[in-house]
Structure 1
């Protein structure tokens, strides 16, 4: 997976799908609270007057000069749960996010949330 020290350098990079089609611009990274490893990214997508943030897993992603290539199609990412550009992912929305990408979801042992924004 990616090193946490590199996360800030990714902001503003284009995010492309597995076929190289541009999806959006990397806005922030969410880490898995159990491992402190980068798990999801939020991308700014949409028209300039109707921007939103959508989520994509970082498993299998690669970083190139000026872009991050994710292992998912543009359609899968565009159909993922999203939120307004000033919103925060609510803990109760995490299971739906994992389900969209067919990933297993398990909150922390004390019921704490699984993702934290960095």
Structure 2
């Protein structure tokens, strides 16, 4: 796995699924605010005139020479909750992302957000 600080080097690289089918291009990394570890990537998908960013979990993700390989299927990733390419993730949308992938969601003790962009 790469460090979230290295995102500038990995932006626009392909993100592929378990079968190495391209999902889209890496845009940003979101870290879990409790652990400060990479948790999700936003991936640019869609046609040139209708692009959006989908959230893809980074659990057990690996890097190749020119790609980031995630452990979810391309179809599942493309159906994930999304934001506009210049949008921001509203706090109330975070649980939907986790639920889409069957992952548990829990806010911090003070109700703080779970994901922070790097």
Distance 1:77 1:68 in 2: 14
Q: Which runs of 5+ in 2 are unaligned?
A: none
Q: TM-score scaled to structure 2, two decimals?
A: 0.96
Q: How far has the Cα of 1:66 moved from its partner? A: 1.0
1:117 aligns with 2:106: no
**Structure 1-normalised TM-score?**
0.96
Return the offset for 1:83.
Answer: 1.0
SS at match of 2:50: coil
Q: Residue 37 in 1 paired to residue 37 in 2?
A: yes
Specify the alignment match of 1:6 in structure 2.
Answer: 6
CA distance in 2, matches of 1:4, 1:86: 20
Aligned mates of 1:115, 1:90 — CA distance in 2: 10
Structure 1 residue runs without a partner (length 5+): none
CA RMSD of the aligned region, Å?
1.0
Residue correspondences, number: 118
